[in-house]
Amino acid sequence: MSADVIAEHLGVTKDSIYVWIANREMPAHRVGRLWKFQITEVDAWVRGAGAPDAADEKLD
């Protein structure tokens, strides 16, 4: 899945996805210049308290 699809699946912006990759070790795989995701890995990461609350998220 692409970052756009994962962002829509989680109901967040694509910018949030990239911040989570950098700061929270969101499970993602780099293929060339693109990030790809397995939806089962992302769902498990969210269930394991990997995704921050909106108040915790800081976009620079």
Express each pLDDT in 2-23 by its tens digit: 999 999 999 999 999 999 998 8
Does pLDDT of 38 surpass 90? yes
Q: Which of 55, 59, 47 is nearest to 17 (CA)?
A: 59
> What per-residue confidence (pLDDT) applies to 55?
44
Domains contained in the chain, number: 1
Tell whether 56 is covered by a domain: no
* Residue 37 resides in a domain: yes
Residue 52 located in a structural domain: no
Q: Average model confidence (pLDDT) for the chain?
A: 85
Range(s) of the domain holding residue 36: 3-47
Angstrom CA distances, 21 to 3, 36, 39, 44, stand at: 10, 11, 14, 15
Dihedral over Cα of 45, 58, 37, 27: its sign: negative
Q: What is the pTM of this model?
A: 0.74
| pLDDT in the model for residue 25 | 83
Q: What is the pLDDT of residue 14?
A: 94
